[in-house]
Amino acid sequence: MAKYDEARVPRGTSHRWEVLMSDDAPAVAAGPDRRTARDVRGEHRVLLSFSDKDLAAMPLVPENTRLVRGGWYLDLHDPARADFIATGDEAVEPGQHVVARKEVSADLWDELLRACDGVLGRPSMRRLRPAV
């Protein structure tokens, strides 16, 4: 007998259960108990040049949270990877510190990327945004 995924698909309604996967963003806890980059400043060289105000504006993705497919993230433990696009099958592991691009301002995100370049000792190809 053929396996379920190898069986010929019948015409019309199959009356079989279908598994649907949602691309909706998971509910992320927001509030005073949510950790920010300020809480882990001493653990990451990338964060040393930021002010307390900037660090407080960088919420961390909670542990065991699945990353949204197509979302941009920065893993503070891996500055060489810098910003990456999630494939949807990754989750934040215990002890891992990840920042979501959609949770911080564009200027702060650019500063994070420049800080990653600085930690790695490579010249940053990212331009400073002109002050308005």
Domains held by the chain: number: 1
59 in any annotated domain: yes
User: Quick one: CA dihedral 12, 24, 88, 17, positive or negative?
Assistant: negative
41 in any annotated domain: yes
List, for residues 69-102, the tens digit of each pLDDT value.
999 999 998 888 878 999 989 999 998 999 999 9
Which domain range does residue 101 map to?
Answer: 34-120
28 in any annotated domain: no
Look at residue 11 in the predicted model and tell me its pLDDT: 66
List, for residues 3-19, the tens digit of each pLDDT value.
766 766 666 665 555 55
130 in any annotated domain: no
Strand order across the beta sheet in which 72-75 lies: 83-85, 72-75, 98-100
CA distance 6 to 121: 51
Q: What is the pTM of this model?
A: 0.69
DSSP 73: E
Question: Amino acid identity, residue 44?
Answer: H
47 in any annotated domain: yes
58 in any annotated domain: yes
Q: Which residues of 98-109 are buried (b: 16+ CB within 10 A; e: fewer)?
A: bbbbebbeeebb
List Cβ neighbours of 63 (8 Å cut-off, separation of 6 or more). Answer: 92, 93, 94, 95, 96
Query: In angstroms, what is the C-alpha Rg of the chain?
Result: 20
The DSSP bridge partners found for residue 73 are: 84, 100
